Amino acid sequence: MTLPLLNYTPSSQNSRVEGFEVGGDEQPKIYNAENLLVASDMDNLIEAAYRQIFFHAFKSDREVALESQLRNNQITVRDFVRGLLLSETFRNSFYEKNSNYRFVEHCVQKVLGRDVYNEQEKIAWSIVIATKGYKGFIDELLNSDEYLENFGYDILPYQRRRNLPSREIGERPFNIKSPRYNEYHRNQLGFPQIIWQNQVRRFTPQEKQVKAGDPSGYLDLARSIGTKATPSPRVSAMNISLDRVPYRN
């Protein structure tokens, strides 16, 4: 008996806030199979799908059969995304190299186009993986109301509301802030390795550079000078001559 999806509280994320959208180069491009005008538009949609799911697909990673079915209108964009998520490349690169919690985070970002709301959502979807398996979890995401309302059957998933009007930079892309491997597997694979061959040169801004005559430029010289004071000779009171003692007449 499979457990139902646990309830979790959605947070007020950028993707859930409606706002006035202004077109620009930083806005995500929406690929819709119903709005393809020329044959090259389908090629762009397929390449965008590989970037969204795999981030990058080598020649050996491409699903030729799925591409042919999509070009001939035998499957929808949603079916094509499902095929990429169930492919051996995605399974080996994301599912087998991460925990269930991290895998949930990857899939929610790639399929639903947003970050996970909180730890409760990670736990809820992780229970789905434990009870329904890898394939059942993918089907639950693609059959969810959130996916169907935002992307339907013909729109390729994308990072929703990536830019915030109140911020200059906005949100970072998912593939940058969520590496493919978690910390454990990165350590097992031995990267990243940073080996400095030479001494690192530290850059000092021009306004902070020491100018000629500045006392701070002589700190090293002052520290190199010995700080031991010359001891004064100790004279015994028995050796003091009274003739040298000043006195008043």
Among 145, 146, 147, 101, CA closest to 124: 101
Q: Where are the domains of the chain?
A: 30-189
Q: How far apart are CA 81 and CA 113, in angstroms?
A: 13
Reported confidence tier of residue 64, pLDDT bands at 50, 70, 90: very high
User: 77 pLDDT exceeds 90?
Assistant: yes
User: 90 pLDDT exceeds 60?
Assistant: yes
How far out from the chain centre does Cα 167 lie? 18
20-52 pLDDT, tens digit each = 555 665 667 888 988 887 878 999 999 999 999
Residue 80, both tokens: 């094509």
User: 161 pLDDT exceeds 90?
Assistant: no
| Residue 196, pLDDT score | 53
Q: What is the mean pLDDT of residues 210-221?
A: 80
Kindly state the helix (H) or strand (E) to which residue 70 belongs, with its residue range: helix 64-71
Could you tell me the fold of the domain covering 30-189? Answer: serine acetyltransferase, domain 1 (1.10.3130)
Residue with the bigger pLDDT between 128 and 15: it is 128
| Residue 224, pLDDT score | 78
| Residue 193, pLDDT score | 58
| Residue 177, pLDDT score | 74
Reported confidence tier of residue 10, pLDDT bands at 50, 70, 90: confident
- Write phi, then psi, for 92 (nearest 5 degrees): -75, -35
Indicate the pTM of the whole model. 0.66
Most distant CA pair in the chain, distance: 127
55: alpha, beta or left, given left = phi > 0 and alpha = psi -120 to 50?
A: left
Q: How far apart are CA 15 and CA 147, in angstroms?
A: 13
3-state secondary structure of 116: coil
DSSP track, 172-219: PPHHHHS-SS-HHHHHHHT------SSPPPPP--GGGSPPTT-GGGGH
User: 183 pLDDT exceeds 80?
Assistant: no
**What's the DSSP call for residue 249?**
-
Among 185, 95, 100, 86, CA closest to 136: 86
222-246 pLDDT, tens digit each = 777 766 666 666 666 666 666 665 6
3-state secondary structure of 32: strand
User: 194 pLDDT exceeds 80?
Assistant: no
DSSP track, 144-164: SHHHHHHTTTTBPP--TT-S-
